[in-house]
Amino acid sequence: MSPKTLDILEENNVITAEPGMYIPGWGGVRIKDMVLVTKDGVECSIRSVGI
């Protein structure tokens, strides 16, 4: 998803939010949270564990 997308999220859609952080010369990490779209908003079904 991006601000420019034409996609429409509908109730019962499941998407993942995967923000990433990268350090040049070292590597990176991505954290994945699954999100359920509900009639009232969203519900995070999985919470990533802190490192």
* Sheet (strand 33-38) strand order: 14-17, 33-38, 41-44
**Can you give the pTM of this predicted structure?**
0.62
pLDDT digits (tens, 9 = 90+) for 1-51: 788 999 999 999 999 888 899 999 999 998 888 899 999 998 887 665 655
Domain total for the chain? 1
Domain region containing 51: 1-51
